[in-house]
Structure formats: C-alpha cells, structure tokens
Amino acid sequence: MNKYKKLVIACDGESASGKSTAAKLVSKKYKLLLINSGLLYRYCSKLIILHKPKKVIPFLEKRFKKISYQLISKQKLHSEKISNHVAIIAKNKKIRKVVNKFQLKIIKSNNRICVEGRDIASKILAKNPKYDLAFYFKCNLDVASHRRWLDLNKLIPLREVKKSLKKRTLLDKKRKNSPLIKVKDAILIRTDRLSKKQVLNKMTKYIENLKPKNL
C-alpha cells in the first residue's frame, strides 16, 4: 500500500465534480499529505470580504505568513457568497502568485502528497516537482448541482446552485491565468457514473501500475 517513497498526485476538475472527495479518499488510503488548492483561494475571498483591505496583495501576503494550511482547512469556507467571490479573484494573477508561493513551499517539502485544484497538473505540479499521476474529474452538471445543493443543506434553490456552478466552470476555463484544462496525460474520471468506492478503485489501479521508479 505505501511502497512508494515518493508519490505526487495531481487532481484537477470542475466545480462539484467530486475531485475533493476522491483526493481525500486516495490520500487516506496511501497516507499522503492532502492540499486543497481551492481552499486557499476561498480563504483569500473570506479575508477580502471580511476586511475589505485597500492593498489586497500585501494584506494577503501578511496573512499567509501567519497561518498554516491545517488551520485554513478547518475554517468554514463553502458559503455561496464565497463561492461567487472566489471565481472572480481566482483570475487575478497577483493573488494566484501569493497562493502558489504558499502551497509550493508545502509541496516541495513533502515527497508523498496529493494536491487538488484546477491548475495543479498544468501549472503547480507541471515541473519541479512533477506529478507522478494526474487525474481530471468531470461530472454531469445536473448531478454536480444536486451534490452541491445537498452540501449547502438545500438552503439555496437548486436552479441557483446550477447557475452558479455553470458560471464558475466557464470562468475557470476562460480565464487568462492558469485556466482549467485537462493535460494530455491526465486520466479522465467521470464521477457521475461511479460510486465513491469505484472512483477510489479506479485511481488505485493506476497508482498500483506505476513503474517502480519511486520504490
């Protein structure tokens, strides 16, 4: 199970595609450090919404110096307000630079890691360090919307959730800086057709078939 001394996995995909759940499952199975890139951008959104800083970049840089990823991951960052805001700030090149610097520092100090987001294989783990395996997750919009609606405890009308997800994915794919793309060698996993167990089994199959360069 943990035969690899080095195992770097990239998980990219659209909003509510199941990539977070898949990344958690595979990280738990292989005892990998899990980094959710999207949480870092959501943390930025939360800070900007709450504090409305005049100079955003210096403000964010200062905040990231004083906090660990573990503390960020424990915060409540999945409100609809943050979801709408994060789609806008994620396009900002300077904000992406702040976030990337923070996560690369963590990534480079860990040989066994799973990083989840939207530009992981294409940007963050494209080189130094390079991913060993890249997965790209897709999900039917109706299924994805229903999942997110349940995550939000049905507090927002389903049609609004669907509209928000569609808009977010479009923004992610069309942004200039690090757009959401599937890299050539990424393994496509359609989560709307699979159970959680089946998703994990599929990922496991590819991991176990890795060449023994990491042994």
Predicted confidence (pLDDT) per residue in 176-208, tens digit: 888 999 999 999 999 998 999 999 999 999 999
Reply yes or no on whether the pLDDT at 70 is more than 70: yes
Domains of the chain: 7-205 (3.40.50.300)
What mean pLDDT do residues 23-42 have? Answer: 96
- Look at residue 2 in the predicted model and tell me its pLDDT: 58
When the pLDDT of each residue in the chain is averaged and rounded to a whole number, the result is: 93
Query: What residues are paired with 10 via a beta bridge?
Result: 115, 134
What are the start-end ranges of the E strands in 69-125?
Answer: 112-117
**Torsion-angle region of residue 130: left (phi > 0), alpha (psi -120 to 50) or beta?**
beta
pTM: 0.89
State the burial class of residue 3 (Cβ atoms within 10 Å of its Cβ: 0-12, 13-18, 19+). Answer: exposed
* Mean pLDDT across 154-176: 91
* 171-178: average pLDDT: 89
Percent of the chain scoring above 70 in pLDDT? 97
